[in-house]
Chain A
Amino acid sequence: MGPLSRETWAQRLGAFRASPSAFMAGPEGEDLGRDLLSELRSEKLSEQTKVSLLALSLEYPAQLWPDATAAEAAATSLLDTLVLLPPRPSALRRPLLLAATTALVAGDALGPTSEASRRLLPLLLGLASGRDLGRGFGPASEQRPLQATACECLRELESCKPGLLGGCLGLLRGLLGQEGPVQPLSLLLALALRNTLVIRARARAGLQGLLMAGDTPSGGDPWNWALAEEGDARLQPQAPSWPAAEEECGLAVLEPTPEEARELRAAVAQLLDTSYLLTPVAQAQLLWLLGWALRGLRGQTPVLFKPQLVRLLGTAQLTLLHAVLALKAAFGEALFTAQDEALLLRRLTVAAQHPALPLPAHLFHLHCLLSFPENWPLGPTAEEATPLLLGPRLCRGLLPSLLHDPMALLARLHLLCLLCVEDEEKEEKGQDWSPRHYLEELLAGLRQRAALDGGPRASATLCFQASHLVVQCLATQPTVLTPLTHGLARLYRARPVLAPHFVDLLDRVGPELGEPLRVALRQEVVSGPGRDEALRWHLQILAEVADGNAQSATLGFLGAAAAHCTDWGLQQALLRVCRALLRAGVGGGLADLLQALARQWEDPDGRDHARLYYVLLAHLAGPKLGVALGPSPAAPALASSLVAENQGFAAVLMVQEAPAPIRLSVGPHRAAGPGPVLQLHVEVLEPAYSLELRFRVEGQVYAPLGAVHVPCLCPGRPCRPLLLPLQPRRPAPTRLDVRALYTTPTGLTCHAHLPPLPVNFADLFLPFPQAPEGDKLGFFEELWDSCLPKGAESRLWCPLGPQGLEALVSRHLEPFVVVAQPPTSYHVAIRLPPDSRLLLRLEAAQEDGVPVALRTDDWAVLPLAGDYLRGLSAAV
């Protein structure tokens, strides 16, 4: 793109400023950064236009040069432009320095490896030191402003890379002592000093003579990239600006050597002595910085600040008073005696109401009063409170009045409330002036104003904000809350259109005001006729306050109102009240009302809803109803009540698929009873109600299983084992597919698929009915013989573990042993439902195994038995 005229640039800049993001997304966006840099060297453009281009780059470097490479290139180009300027006075030098600095910092390009950084830093330091940099850097008349600008650039670099100038402290002190411009050098030195002290303290290192006045340290760069990168010294919320925050951050403490301490004191004194030469805002910055710097130093008394304080306390400057408060917070009693504290409070009180100061200053001073950093605070520091030394007399001038601006009124009201709290604590001492009485009158006035027909929304808002503030501060004082409740109820009677404010207030206050106010408002609504133009407001209030109390009056009101609810909006409002009543568990009368509505209304939507509520009321139990009507847990609140409502119903009336919070396991085998029974252990991760476990047998080897019901399960509370009777069709192991159906504490019904449960072959074992006493062997032999010829016979080797045969039998086969000759010979008879048998002879056991003869009347059992026996020793 060729050179652009001044007008074109003006247009282009205007378009960019209107919406940078839109411009950058457009066709011209991509070239803007490049064009801007090249145009700065154009000879056709005036300096003024070039300054406006630079101004743009000062504000939007990230848009013009979005990455570090582009920023580095831009800074290089800007520096080149600066060097190439002709040696006559130019308005471009300052903005070029600022722009190069901004580009490097904003583009994250600042660092020891960046070529532009390596050019910019010595240039800035050279200019700041007042060194002659040659004719390229302008005529002598420009040196002074450039020196100041270079200091500002260095200060910004130090702000963004704390510690960078740690090596220049001595040099800066020297310059300040000579003829350098006082303000820029003071601020730069104070910042570098503060940062160095903080970083050194964190690293538990000393100052290492950094403060010694003199030229740059010998040997190379003064840049302390190492210090700037040291530990966690990089820009972090490292400058806790208030003592409360400091404790959390654990500000490290630096213990300087006596010599270092002396040097430090000298440097701070040097800065403070010339501080009156700084503008008030810069003085305030200096005090904040030095306050921060010295706070972490052990053994440094802050008395150095003392000579400045009286001068500062007398001024009308917001920043200076604020800086004094910062010193107060930092040093407390070490700098301010109780008398000083009292004086400071007096000045703050004066400043908070002085007619010569603007309202924003009043409000800020008032905030400072309520957050005043006391030497010995009584309460928690985070809360706003009246300082101990700020008595009611000092506050007389700070009382709220109806003529005040809303913010001033609220701020002063807060103070008044705090006075009421103190007054209550001191109890009545027969004072002539009662803050509580004053408060009541003020609130009454606010309500009166809010009650005005046609009054602005803001005055209603103010009235409710004031009420809320009072409840927050004085929730425990019935003497305040009772008149407030009555007053608000009267306000509602006067202006029902404020219903949204009432609902909002009820949502936000605790029960101290909430409970009585609900009762009062309900009373106010239901005692009315229910057919005036305020009906929609009445219904809105009722939907908020209706509960199980005063049912008949409420229902009577609704019944009367129903006939006047002719449009959809009013019908929905009335239905909302019905919902509230449903939720509160109101029964009989409500059912009649809903039925009446379902018949009476013409609008199908209203009718359907009424019918739906009636059906819900008739069919759902209380808790479930509550959930059905409550907000849907599945989706965030939607604007449409209908959608939200439907989702609520759907959630409740449908079964939810859920990951199982239930763990099921099979307990030890119980060999008793007529059929095999599985013992199940259930554990839950969250409470489950009405749990129903359903089982399906894989391969249908057993008869279908009945469901198991558990009324209630809680985590950590043991549950008796559940017994699941099995009815095998074949004596075979299988797996059970398990599904659980349960209700969550929130009332949702959930369905979960649990991991399958294995049923082992041994789980089916049952003993034979007791053999006749005395002839057990005969009984066994009879069974043994009966197996053949229909059945099958086998012999196998059952390996034994170290415990031997006796242990193996007692562990696994004990209930089924018919004849035992310990430790070598056992005859075992097992009944396998439905009608099979398995007989084992374990005889002549040897050290490592026992030969087993087995017979069964069901050949299909043989492989299962073989597997079982072979697995026994491993299971021991």
Chain B
Amino acid sequence: MAQRAVWLISREPGTPFCGTVRFSRRYPTVEKRAKVFNGASYVPIPEDGPFLKALLFELRLLDDEEDFIESRDSCSHINKTSVYGLLIGGGELWPVVAFLKNNMIYACVPLVEQTLSPHPPLISISGISQGFELLFGVQDFLSLSQKNDTELNTKLNQLPDLLLQACPFGTLLDANLQNSLDSINFASVTHSQKQPAWKVGTYKGKPQVSISITEKVKSMQYDKQDIADTWQVVGTVTCKCDLEGIMPNVTISLSLPTNGSPLQDILVHPCVTSLDSAILTSSSIDAMDDSAFSGPYKFPLTPPLESFNLCYYTSQVPVPPILGFYQMKEEEIQVKITVNLKLHESVKNNFEFCEAHIPFYNRGPITHVDYKVSFGQLEVFREKSSLVWIIGQKFPKSMEINLSGTVTFGAKSHEKQSFDEICIGGTAYLKLHFRILDYTLTGCYADQHSVQVFASGKPKISTRKL
């Protein structure tokens, strides 16, 4: 379950190597074991340079996409997971766990405690999931409140010390690197009782529990006979429990109004100590019916110090919040567009913002737009070939708005416009971005009575819906 090495590589298209190794860490004692376990199939961990090159090649991130290269483009070279084999120095380095996120490539090589030829199934290698967890942990740490390059560099500079703490010998002790950072600072605290490893200290101060629920709706509307429209709500419940004592017990309940949409596919934080089987089995796979479990959803837990995601869920609301209609007609260098949007009456008509993005792919820059909107205003981004319809805070009383117009394009310049494989010819889309404060589509809520705390002091409880 140990890792032989870890890398962070920033992707830099256009530079000679197309990337730079920003961080790497090797574990020689694990390497020692790998050599014995893997026997004749052992391939040593390469130096950073060759690794960078081989990984970028395998991930298709080098700028040499032009030619057919068998070792990468062959039809039998099928990758179905984020685990790769890299050809390095005549051998195959496997398994390399790697993924790209926000222009940073996260990679590690887990130890496999057996021979590598033939490759054992990934499911049988404990180091694979540990490797993923390590990389997710690093990713979370880097992306947490990261705004610019300087902050990224600061965090990258902290990584060696953090991994010395969280993964001293290649076996991961805690994927939450922020915890390790805190534990360096908390070192002076003396512990008398059993202290959870995921909680580096204790809270001192006014007790307080805050819960916030965020729901996102993902909807695709085709308005076509043969393709079903989809809309799914994904919810995240975030908590911060500032409570005294080492192991305070808390129970948080989520409730639905009578006509609320049941929560499904619930995944909880590991600090939840037990789960009702109704919560465990409620799933979007099943056909919906009235007998579906509709709460309250109780989560008994012992909270960590930091803010955490208590649970994620999905839900199938009966109708999409906004029903859209988008039509595009191509006429030589012009396209005619018509957009209708209708807010469903059950949805709270009070937006923080609401805007419709209308991109045009595989065309030149916009040279001219003739348009008519019934509501809001239209912004034109000529170079980006896109329109943004700013609807604002409220739909009008009719709940229905529309836009029609003609867009003219200039000549296509190949360098700037990126190629889109889907939006070709008459295929196009409009994307709606909006946020409604203090409202959930499912109706899911937590209030003062939803939280039971078994600890000293009466906590202040604040809940909000985003």
User: Which residues of A are interface residues toward B (Cβ below 8 A)?
Assistant: 17-21, 51-52, 55, 58-62, 94-95, 98, 101-102, 105-106, 140-142, 144-145, 149, 152-153, 155-156, 159-160, 179, 181-184, 235-237, 239-242, 244-245, 274, 276-285, 288, 310-311, 313-323, 325-326, 329, 343, 346-347, 349-351, 354-361, 363-364, 366-368, 371, 373, 382, 393-394, 396-397, 402-403, 407, 410-411, 414, 449, 452, 454-461, 464-465, 467-469, 500-501, 504-505, 508
B244 nearest CB across to chain A (Å): 18
Given that A183-B197, A356-B236, A410-B79 are known contacts, is A346 also in contact with B281, CB under 8 Å in the complex? yes
B281: chain A residues at CB < 8 Å are 343, 346
Given that A241-B126, A350-B265, A350-B285 are known contacts, is A279 also in contact with B175, CB under 8 Å in the complex? yes
> Is B314 a contact of A285 with CB atoms below 8 Å?
no
Shortest Cβ distance from B183 into A: residue: A145
Closest 9 CB pairs of A and B: A242-B124, A356-B312, A316-B267, A183-B197, A500-B68, A322-B129, A411-B80, A464-B75, A468-B75
> Is A314 a contact of B280 with CB atoms below 8 Å?
yes
Tell me which of A322, A326, A452, A504 contacts B68 (CB under 8 A).
A504
Does B82 interact with chain A (Cβ within 8 Å)? yes
> Is B267 a contact of A314 with CB atoms below 8 Å?
yes
Given that A393-B285, A508-B75 are known contacts, is A142 also in contact with B123, CB under 8 Å in the complex? no
Name B148-183 residues within 8 Å CB distance of A: 160-161, 164, 168-169, 171-176, 179, 183
A347: chain B residues at CB < 8 Å are 280
> Is B169 a contact of A182 with CB atoms below 8 Å?
no
> Is B36 a contact of A318 with CB atoms below 8 Å?
no
Name B260-305 residues within 8 Å CB distance of A: 265-270, 272-275, 277, 279-281, 283-285, 302
> Is A461 a contact of B73 with CB atoms below 8 Å?
yes
Within the assembled complex, what's the spacing in Å between the Cα atoms of A464 and B49? Answer: 31
B153 nearest CB across to chain A (Å): 15
Shortest Cβ distance from B72 into A: residue: A461
B98 nearest CB across to chain A (Å): 9
A457: chain B residues at CB < 8 Å are 65-66, 68, 73
Within the assembled complex, what's the spacing in Å between the Cα atoms of A18 and B218? Answer: 45
Of A288, A313, A316, A323, chain B has the most CB atoms within 10 Å of the CB of A316
A61: chain B residues at CB < 8 Å are 28
B121: chain A residues at CB < 8 Å are 242, 367, 371, 382
User: Which residues of B are interface residues toward A (Cβ below 8 A)?
Assistant: 1-2, 24-29, 31-33, 36-37, 39, 47-49, 60, 65-66, 68, 70, 72-82, 97, 99, 101, 113-115, 120-126, 128-130, 132-134, 136, 160-161, 164, 168-169, 171-176, 179, 183, 187-188, 190-198, 218, 232, 234, 236, 265-270, 272-275, 277, 279-281, 283-285, 302, 312, 314, 419, 421-422, 424
Consensus secondary structure, chain A interface? helix
> Is A55 a contact of B195 with CB atoms below 8 Å?
no
B115: chain A residues at CB < 8 Å are 237
> Is B36 a contact of A236 with CB atoms below 8 Å?
yes
A393: chain B residues at CB < 8 Å are 285
9 CB < 8 A contacts A-B: A18-B48, A19-B47, A95-B164, A281-B134, A319-B130, A393-B285, A500-B68, A504-B70, A504-B73
A52: chain B residues at CB < 8 Å are 160
> Is A102 a contact of B175 with CB atoms below 8 Å?
no
Within the assembled complex, what's the spacing in Å between the Cα atoms of A377 and B434? Answer: 48
> Is B32 a contact of A354 with CB atoms below 8 Å?
no
A500: chain B residues at CB < 8 Å are 68, 73
> Is A318 a contact of B74 with CB atoms below 8 Å?
no
A108 nearest CB across to chain B (Å): 8
Within the assembled complex, what's the spacing in Å between the Cα atoms of A184 and B174? Answer: 11
A152: chain B residues at CB < 8 Å are 168-169, 173
> Is A316 a contact of B312 with CB atoms below 8 Å?
yes
B194: chain A residues at CB < 8 Å are 179, 182, 274, 277
Within the assembled complex, what's the spacing in Å between the Cα atoms of A387 and B234? Answer: 28
A367: chain B residues at CB < 8 Å are 80-81, 121-123
A426 nearest CB across to chain B (Å): 20
A202 nearest CB across to chain B (Å): 16
Given that A159-B2, A317-B270, A360-B82 are known contacts, is A182 also in contact with B195, CB under 8 Å in the complex? yes
Q: Given contacts A235-B36, A245-B120, A277-B197, could you give 6 more A-B pairs where the C-beta distance is less than 8 Å?
A: A179-B193, A279-B173, A279-B198, A449-B421, A452-B424, A456-B65
A279: chain B residues at CB < 8 Å are 173-176, 179, 197-198
> Is A364 a contact of B82 with CB atoms below 8 Å?
yes
A245: chain B residues at CB < 8 Å are 114, 120, 124
Shortest Cβ distance from A469 into B: residue: B78
A343: chain B residues at CB < 8 Å are 280-281
B116 nearest CB across to chain A (Å): 10
A780 nearest CB across to chain B (Å): 78
B24: chain A residues at CB < 8 Å are 17
> Is A315 a contact of B197 with CB atoms below 8 Å?
no
B465 nearest CB across to chain A (Å): 17
Shortest Cβ distance from B220 into A: residue: A403
Within the assembled complex, what's the spacing in Å between the Cα atoms of A577 and B247? Answer: 77
Given that A21-B47, A504-B75 are known contacts, is A106 also in contact with B268, CB under 8 Å in the complex? no
B75: chain A residues at CB < 8 Å are 461, 464-465, 467-468, 501, 504-505, 508
> Is A361 a contact of B279 with CB atoms below 8 Å?
no
Tell me which of B74, B124, B130 contacts A281 (CB under 8 A).
B130
Given that A98-B168, A155-B169, A504-B73 are known contacts, is A316 also in contact with B268, CB under 8 Å in the complex? yes
B20 nearest CB across to chain A (Å): 11
Within the assembled complex, what's the spacing in Å between the Cα atoms of A870 and B160? Answer: 94
> Is A310 a contact of B275 with CB atoms below 8 Å?
yes
A410: chain B residues at CB < 8 Å are 78-80
> Is A282 a contact of B174 with CB atoms below 8 Å?
yes
A93 nearest CB across to chain B (Å): 11
A548 nearest CB across to chain B (Å): 27
Within the assembled complex, what's the spacing in Å between the Cα atoms of A179 and B194? Answer: 7
> Is B28 a contact of A102 with CB atoms below 8 Å?
yes
Within the assembled complex, what's the spacing in Å between the Cα atoms of A60 and B31? Answer: 11
> Is A317 a contact of B169 with CB atoms below 8 Å?
no
Tell me which of A156, A236, A313, A455 contacts B421 (CB under 8 A).
A455
B279: chain A residues at CB < 8 Å are 314
Within the assembled complex, what's the spacing in Å between the Cα atoms of A346 and B68? Answer: 41
B274: chain A residues at CB < 8 Å are 310-311
> Is B80 a contact of A366 with CB atoms below 8 Å?
yes
Within the assembled complex, what's the spacing in Å between the Cα atoms of A450 and B37? Answer: 43
A281: chain B residues at CB < 8 Å are 130, 133-134, 172-175
Tell me which of B168, B236, B270 contacts A149 (CB under 8 A).
B168
A458: chain B residues at CB < 8 Å are 60, 65
A505: chain B residues at CB < 8 Å are 75
B269: chain A residues at CB < 8 Å are 315-316
Shortest Cβ distance from B226 into A: residue: A441
> Is B195 a contact of A407 with CB atoms below 8 Å?
no
> Is B80 a contact of A407 with CB atoms below 8 Å?
yes
A460: chain B residues at CB < 8 Å are 73
B99: chain A residues at CB < 8 Å are 358-360
Within the assembled complex, what's the spacing in Å between the Cα atoms of A153 and B171? Answer: 11
Shortest Cβ distance from A454 into B: residue: B419
Within the assembled complex, what's the spacing in Å between the Cα atoms of A454 and B412? Answer: 14
> Is A468 a contact of B122 with CB atoms below 8 Å?
no
Given that A155-B171, A235-B36, A367-B122 are known contacts, is A319 also in contact with B129, CB under 8 Å in the complex? yes
Within the assembled complex, what's the spacing in Å between the Cα atoms of A873 and B280? Answer: 99
> Is A160 a contact of B272 with CB atoms below 8 Å?
no
Within the assembled complex, what's the spacing in Å between the Cα atoms of A363 and B24? Answer: 25
Within the assembled complex, what's the spacing in Å between the Cα atoms of A437 and B187? Answer: 62
A244: chain B residues at CB < 8 Å are 124
A19: chain B residues at CB < 8 Å are 47-49
> Is A276 a contact of B273 with CB atoms below 8 Å?
yes
A59: chain B residues at CB < 8 Å are 25-28
Of A326, A356, A452, A504, chain B has the most CB atoms within 10 Å of the CB of A356
> Is B130 a contact of A394 with CB atoms below 8 Å?
no
Of B115, B179, B198, chain A has the most CB atoms within 10 Å of the CB of B198
> Is B419 a contact of A355 with CB atoms below 8 Å?
no
